[in-house]
């Protein structure tokens, strides 16, 4: 371009800058298409329809979203869910997610085996109803006594199958989770097992916190009047926390204090525009990259984990938890949701070590030099570890209303159209 005068030259420069700004703005707007800022623009996930494939969550920018139809499962290879069955109040939530992933709904699961891991009569009675609710459901009872959880693995009897070992307290997972895990395992014979990207999994909670997905939340210390509505899962409907910014009186972030009352909520810290909450005041600040750290036992950090997740679930931005892969480097991984080949279990069953978890993610894979990988695109939520559950004789995570929220979400978004088995009451 030839400039005749300095004035004309600066006019061209000005026009050029304006056009450039326009291009950049368009790019930015497209890039933030799925973001929501502020409470005024809450995105409600689209309503659920009867049949699959229906994807509630928007395509996460940058990460593959694996649909069941994208996965070529070789002939003769079954995909089997293997749930360690125990507690019906949790299983009634998981049930819908599993049914939604059965073949007849467009999912990958050929069958689901409920491997009995309890002797409680009420739970076992529920299991009978559950198994009767779908022909692809069946139960397995160990034929003899094994140590710890090993008996539940006796159900693995097809060397060619891919098993998805799922805890009974997985209370949410995305439609792409099972397809992503199966695809990753099929395409990577060198991996021993591929785990989901689990929310509330000790070291992963530290990863998620550092990805910036935690929100400020504190427990509500006294019963509200009128009582809080049941069956709401939407974080936006929670009242704001009002109290000292360091947390309410009588509450310690290190979980040295019990939950205030049964069914209490955690309330979001909503500050005036321009002010930000310092996350180092929160329970999540104590999370560590440690499988036995506060991510395992701190019920308060776990509560913050769940209420933060529910916030993102409503916002429609659960993609913020995602990544491609994370290599666990034979560190102990809590096996709440993972894909493993039948043969790899059967080759060593019954395991020579009573701690099945340590054996399957540390001892055996390092013997074989085959890695244990987290698939960051396969998002699942694990409700609670035993320590979070039993803190203060149960006055921990169980005294929050987080489980009711996951149930309400499933009732509204996941279960309609499925033949489910709900429990009458929880003792």
Shortest approach of ligand NAG to residue 252 CB, angstroms?
Answer: 4
- CB nearer ligand NAG, residue 70 or residue 246: 246
Cβ-closest position to ligand NAG: 254
Q: Which of 163, 154, 139, 173 is nearest to 80 (CA)?
A: 163
- CB nearer ligand NAG, residue 281 or residue 348: 281
Q: Single out the segment in contact with ligand NAG by CB under 6 A; choices: 76-84, 237-245, 249-257, 326-334.
A: 249-257
Residues ≥6 apart with Cβ < 8 Å to 291: 202, 203, 331, 332, 333, 334
Distance of CA 111 to CAs 67, 137, 184, 194, 382, Å?
18, 6, 20, 19, 21
- CB nearer ligand NAG, residue 247 or residue 291: 247
Shortest approach of ligand NAG to residue 357 CB, angstroms?
Answer: 26
Shortest approach of ligand NAG to residue 256 CB, angstroms?
Answer: 4
Shortest approach of ligand NAG to residue 253 CB, angstroms?
Answer: 7
Residue with tokens 């996951």: 406
- CB nearer ligand NAG, residue 294 or residue 316: 294
Shortest approach of ligand NAG to residue 257 CB, angstroms?
Answer: 8
Of the residues 222, 223, 256, 324, which one makes contact with ligand NAG according to CB under 6 A = 256
- CB nearer ligand NAG, residue 178 or residue 296: 296
- CB nearer ligand NAG, residue 288 or residue 346: 288
- Which string of DSSP letters, residue by residue, matches 31-61? HTTT---SGGGPPPPPPP-SSS----SPPPT
The CA distance from 277 to 282, in Å, is: 9
- CB nearer ligand NAG, residue 22 or residue 250: 250
Shortest approach of ligand NAG to residue 301 CB, angstroms?
Answer: 13
- CB nearer ligand NAG, residue 94 or residue 253: 253
85, two tokens: 């069955």
Q: Single out the segment in contact with ligand NAG by CB under 6 A; choices: 241-249, 250-258, 282-290, 309-317.
A: 250-258
Q: Is the peptide bond before 136 cis (omega within 30 degrees of 0)?
A: no
Q: How many residues bind ligand NAG (CB under 6 A)?
A: 3
- Over the window 101 to 140, marking each residue x when it contacts ligand NAG by CB under 6 A and - when it does not, the resulting string is ----------------------------------------
The neighbouring-strand residues paired with 81 are 112, 164
Shortest approach of ligand NAG to residue 331 CB, angstroms?
Answer: 25
- CB nearer ligand NAG, residue 29 or residue 256: 256
Of the residues 10, 13, 46, 254, which one makes contact with ligand NAG according to CB under 6 A = 254
Of the residues 20, 245, 252, 426, which one makes contact with ligand NAG according to CB under 6 A = 252
Residue 140 DSSP one-character state? E
Burial 143-166 (b: 16+ CB within 10 A, else e): eeebeebbbbbbbbebeebbbbbb
- Which string of DSSP letters, residue by residue, matches 219-270? E--S--SSPPPSS---GGGSPPP-S-TT--TT--TTS-S--SSTTB-EEE--
- CB nearer ligand NAG, residue 159 or residue 250: 250
Q: Contact 384/398 with Cβ under 8 angstroms? A: yes
Give helix 402-409 / helix 88-100 axis angle, nearest 10°. Answer: 30
- Angle among Cα 350, 151, 374 to the nearest 5 degrees reads 80
Residue 109 DSSP one-character state? B
Q: Is the peptide bond before 53 cis (omega within 30 degrees of 0)?
A: yes
Shortest approach of ligand NAG to residue 285 CB, angstroms?
Answer: 12
- Over the window 174 to 213, marking each residue x when it contacts ligand NAG by CB under 6 A and - when it does not, the resulting string is ----------------------------------------
Q: Which of 66, 164, 68 is nearest to 112 (CA)?
A: 164
Q: Does 245 bind ligand NAG (CB under 6 A)?
A: no
Strand 217-219 relative to strand 79-85: parallel, antiparallel, unpaired? unpaired
Shortest approach of ligand NAG to residue 276 CB, angstroms?
Answer: 22
Instruction: Give contact residues for ligand NAG (rule: CB under 6 A).
Output: 252, 254, 256
């Amino acid at each position: 371009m030839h400039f005749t005068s300095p004035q004309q030259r600066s006019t061209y420069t000005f026009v050029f800058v304006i056009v450039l700004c326009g291009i950049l703005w368009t790019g930015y707007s497209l890039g933030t298409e799925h973001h929501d800022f502020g409470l005024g623009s809450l995105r409600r996930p689209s309503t659920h329809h009867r049949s699959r494939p229906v994807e509630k969550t928007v395509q996460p920018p940058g990460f593959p979203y694996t649909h069941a139809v994208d996965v070529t499962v070789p002939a003769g290879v079954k995909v089997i869910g293997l749930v360690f069955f125990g507690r019906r109040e949790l299983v009634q939530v998981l049930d819908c997610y599993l049914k939604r992933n059965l073949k007849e709904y467009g999912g990958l699961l050929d069958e689901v085996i409920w491997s009995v891991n309890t002797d409680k009569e009420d739970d076992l009675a529920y299991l009978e109803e559950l198994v009767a609710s779908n022909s692809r459901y069946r139960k397995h009872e160990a034929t003899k006594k094994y140590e710890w959880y090993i008996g539940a693995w006796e159900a693995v009897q097809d060397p060619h199958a891919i098993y998805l070992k799922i805890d009974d307290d997985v209370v949410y997972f995305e439609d792409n989770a099972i397809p992503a895990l199966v695809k990753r395992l099929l395409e990577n014979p060198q991996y021993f097992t591929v785990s989901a990207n689990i929310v509330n999994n000790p070291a992963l909670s530290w990863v998620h916190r550092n990805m910036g997905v935690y929100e400020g939340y504190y427990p509500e210390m006294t019963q509200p009047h009128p009582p809080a509505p049941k069956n709401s899962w939407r974080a936006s409907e929670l009242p704001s926390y009002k109290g000292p910014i360091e947390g309410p009186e009588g509450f310690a972030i290190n979980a040295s204090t019990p939950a205030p009352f049964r069914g209490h909520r955690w309330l979001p810290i909503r500050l005036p525009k321009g002010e930000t909450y310092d996350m180092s005041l929160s329970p999540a600040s104590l999370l560590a990259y440690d499988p036995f750290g506060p991510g395992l036992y701190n019920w308060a950090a776990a509560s913050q984990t769940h209420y933060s997740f529910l916030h993102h679930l409503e916002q429609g931005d659960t993609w913020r938890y995602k990544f491609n892969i994370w290599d666990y480097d034979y560190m102990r991984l809590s096996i709440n949701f993972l894909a493993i080949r039948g043969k790899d279990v059967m080759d060593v069953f019954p395991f020579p070590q009573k701690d099945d978890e340590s054996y399957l993610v540390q001892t055996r894979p390092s013997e074989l030099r085959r890695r244990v990988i987290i698939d960051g695109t396969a998002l699942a939520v694990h409700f609670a570890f035993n320590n979070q559950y039993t803190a203060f004789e149960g006055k921990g995570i169980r005294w929050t209303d987080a489980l009711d929220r996951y149930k309400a979400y499933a009732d509204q978004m996941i279960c309609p159209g499925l033949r489910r088995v709900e429990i009458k009451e929880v003792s």
